[in-house]
Structure 1
Amino acid sequence: MANIRGVKEPWAVITDESPTLQTLWQYALRFRVEELFLDSKSGVFELEESKIRCADALERLYLVAAVALLFSTTQGMAVHIKGLRQQVDPHWRRGISYLKIGLRWLKGVVHKGRELLMPVPLLCHDPQPCFASKKAQKKHYNKIWFSRIRSLQCKAL
């Protein structure tokens, strides 16, 4: 269990890893996946607006969206690696997701004659985390501070 500054209820993390601050930080980073989900669900593809109710049709739509998300993200990573990011992201440092960078680049391919880049493998380690401002970056890193940690270990029966 971990008490987090500014949060009313403590986290209860069940894991087979050692109960350390590092373990809790790893779980905190996993929660950032919500941003990717937001991008794919309503922020970019607006899947909720489809009004589709048929399970088979929804499954096909999500498959197409997943392929588009993957391709656009790899385009965004290729743009970043080639040093072309500032053509589509005006922030001094990366301020939007690789998905949005890729989508902006792909719009430029269609409308401005930009080169379609060879997709790159998904990066295991993000060389430049995404923050829209220094204030957003500070808020993110100051958001999760553990004030107390308690470990309970269960013995196998």
Structure 2
Amino acid sequence: MTGSCGRYTVATFLGLLSGQKVATVEQRLYEWCLDAKDKGGKQRQELVLSTCQLALLQWIIRLWVGTQLALTLDATSLGDRFVVLAVSVVYRGCGIPVAWTVLPAGAKGAWRKEWLRLLRLLRPAVPPEWTVIVLADRGLYAGWLYRRIVRLHWHPFLRINNGSKFRPQGRAHWYWLKDLIGTVGHQWQGRGSCFKHPASRLECTLLAWWSEANEDPWFVLTDLSPTQSSVTWYGLRSWCEQGFKCNKRGGWQWQLTRMHHPERAARLWLALAVATLWMVSVGTELECRTNLDDPDLPDLQALLDHKPVRRIRLHRLGRLWLLVEAIARQALHLPRQLLPEPWPAPLSPTQAVLAPCPEVPP
């Protein structure tokens, strides 16, 4: 309701709502973020974040309609204080964080251990028969990440840098990626070996596309066959950036936090994640007009016009709905079903030209 994750702002709102002293409420919110050793008393406990993150994804799975799930791996920063490594469920133009770790900005050390821990943590929440793709930008590509995703029986969808080589199946020659794609408007896909150096070589499917909207072509590696996947699915990855925006200036104003302890900030992120899930789920029913049980709720379809561009983010739409219900003294809707949009369709011949495999130079 406040559109803020500021502790004093939220405490003031809850204090006025419940008739309690603001200082008392603020102290409770403060201690909720602390480690057990930093709390007063001998029987105080701390929030175990990993348990809550697993439960959060299980909650999303129960609300989800369908058996296709797209996860993204990405990092976001807060000035020179924090770097957050986050796994998000991407949904209708937004990202819902489901597992994350907050690190001090500038801290030395690789992120490999953290990424592997987050993926391993989430695996039990997803039914084995579901199709899960894991998307990451080229800055996060690593062979160990690709192999771990496959080992979890999920499907990597990892973009790589342009300066690599690929050997199509049945060919002896290695090609630079840029030679496979040709020019703007072309696509290429096929099985083969990526990375010429034996230590980093990978047997995989390469999906390549150079869209007119992008400055550089996409080169995406996956374990799915070319007929079971589409390079257009990589476009889902950008939705996680909208989720980060919802945590900051587009929603909960986390950029204004005064926290300096990574562990405390990570617990605050749990509140932000649950709030985001709540907002996008109730916003879904306004956008899709499904299961609405309030005949007095205005039809917002004329405002939304989300094809091809969503006029208002689900995060904001859901919060507007709750404000309307509060003003009208109606019961607030709790999280509702999640109705994901179909994944982007494969490119048609009119959208992109399938570039032939280039001839071996003399």
Tell me by how many angstroms 1:117 deviates. Answer: 2.4
Contact 1:41–1:48, Cα closer than 8 Å, also in 2:
yes
Q: Secondary structure at 2:236's aligned position in 1?
A: helix
Tell me by how many angstroms 1:119 deviates. Answer: 2.9
- State yes or no: 1:116 paired with 2:323: no
* 32, 44, 57: which one aligns with 2:251: 44
- State yes or no: 1:99 paired with 2:99: no
String of CA shifts for 1:30-82, please: whole Å, max 9, x gaps: 33333233223330111111132211221111011001111122222244422
Contact 1:78–1:119, Cα closer than 8 Å, also in 2:
no
Q: Structure 1 residues 66 and 19, CA, compared in 2 at 3 Å: closer, same or farther?
A: same
Matches within 5 A, 1:121-132: 121-125=337-341
Tell me by how many angstroms 1:13 deviates. Answer: 0.6
Q: Equivalents in 2 of 1:24, 1:3: separation in Å?
A: 10
Q: Secondary structure at 2:242's aligned position in 1?
A: helix
**Counterpart in 1 of 2:216?**
9
Structure 1: segments with no counterpart, 5+ residues: 127-144, 152-157
Tell me by how many angstroms 1:146 deviates. Answer: 4.4
Identity within the alignment, %: 24
Matches within 5 A, 1:64-83: 64-79=271-286, 80-81=289-290, 82=292
TM-score (structure 1 length as normaliser): 0.66
String of CA shifts for 1:76-123, please: whole Å, max 9, x gaps: 224442284636x76153521222111011122333324422532211
Q: Structure 1 residues 74 and 61, CA, compared in 2 at 3 Å: closer, same or farther?
A: same
Which amino acid in the other structure matches residue 339 of structure 2? Answer: L
Q: Structure 1 residues 15 and 105, CA, compared in 2 at 3 Å: closer, same or farther?
A: same
Larger Rg: 2
- State yes or no: 1:25 paired with 2:232: yes
**Counterpart in 2 of 1:54?**
261
Tell me by how many angstroms 1:149 deviates. Answer: 5.3
Higher helix share: 1
TM-score (structure 2 length as normaliser): 0.32
- State yes or no: 1:86 paired with 2:299: yes
Which amino acid in the other structure matches residue 270 of structure 2? Answer: L
Q: Structure 1 residues 125 and 6, CA, compared in 2 at 3 Å: closer, same or farther?
A: closer
Larger RCO: Structure 1 or Structure 2 (Cα < 8 Å, ≥ 6 residues apart)? 1
Q: Equivalents in 1 of 2:283, 2:302: separation in Å?
A: 14
Q: Secondary structure at 2:337's aligned position in 1?
A: coil
Contact 2:277–2:335, Cα closer than 8 Å, also in 1:
no
Structure 2: segments with no counterpart, 5+ residues: 1-207, 343-350, 358-362
Task: Tell me the C-alpha RMSD between the 2 structures.
Answer: 3.1
Q: Structure 1 residues 4 and 69, CA, compared in 2 at 3 Å: closer, same or farther?
A: same
**Counterpart in 2 of 1:129?**
none
Q: Secondary structure at 1:75's aligned position in 2?
A: helix
Q: Equivalents in 1 of 2:247, 2:353: separation in Å?
A: 34
